[in-house]
Amino acid sequence: MPELPEFETSRRGVLAVGAGGAVVASTPAIAAPSAVTRGAVPSSQVAFRVNGKAQALRLDPRTTLLDALREHLHLTGTKKGCDHGQCGACTVIVNGQRINSCLSLALQHEGDEITTIEGLGTPDNLHPMQAAFVKHDGFQCGYCTPGQICSAVGVLDEIRQGIPSHVQADISQAPQVTNMELRERMSGNICRCGAYSNIAEAMAEVAGAKA
């Protein structure tokens, strides 16, 4: 992959902040459109809302939604795992639906409403799914966890909407929150620590069902 000017800039920014021991990066200066217009790479504008906040970016068209979130908006809760839609670590919620942010160009999301793990809850005010993951030990190393939690929130919503799944015996009926349903619907999220059983228990608790 060619070295992109804005990529270098944002990397350096992150490293400098890390070396200085600061916790909060000065995101506005880096995310501002003017910072990424150098070089010959053609750039395009996109505007969307992330976690309720309007964002306008000028980006190389190649920028995925994942990279826009992480490298330009510095919302690094969303993780890059395989970068090919196979692991689910990059799962975010767009217009109410969970998607792989790595397989979507940022430019495809003009006007969209995006929710990342940072928008679901905060350390002081956890989303019920985050609290349930903590309670049930739904993780070990934690790298896949933001994607797991965004996906889990999406799954319960899909079951509420009656979206059918592969493991339903009768697709003319509404799906139920069973352990089999949760496992099938979460199959796009890989956990190399193998916390699957506890993730299913956390989800069942939030859904008010017995796993």
- Shortest spacing between CB 111 and other proteins, in angstroms: 10
Residues 202/182, Cβ–Cβ less than 8 Å: no
Contacts of 9 (CB under 8 A, 6+ apart): 30, 35, 36
b/e string for 7-43 if b means 16 or more Cβ within 10 A?
Answer: beebeebbeebeeeeeeebeeeebbeeebbeeeeeeb
Considering only 51, 55, 64, 178, the residue that binds other proteins (CB under 8 A) is: 64
With binding defined as CB under 8 A, does residue 181 bind other proteins?
no
For other proteins, the closer of residues 171 and 193 by Cβ is 171
- Shortest spacing between CB 92 and other proteins, in angstroms: 9
With binding defined as CB under 8 A, does residue 144 bind other proteins?
no
- Shortest spacing between CB 189 and other proteins, in angstroms: 8
Rg (CA), the chain: 18
d(CA 56, CA 4): 19
Applying CB under 8 A, the residues found at the interface with other proteins are: 1-2, 41-42, 44, 60-62, 64, 83-85, 88, 91, 97-100, 102-105, 107-108, 110, 151, 154-155, 158, 161-166, 171-172, 183-189
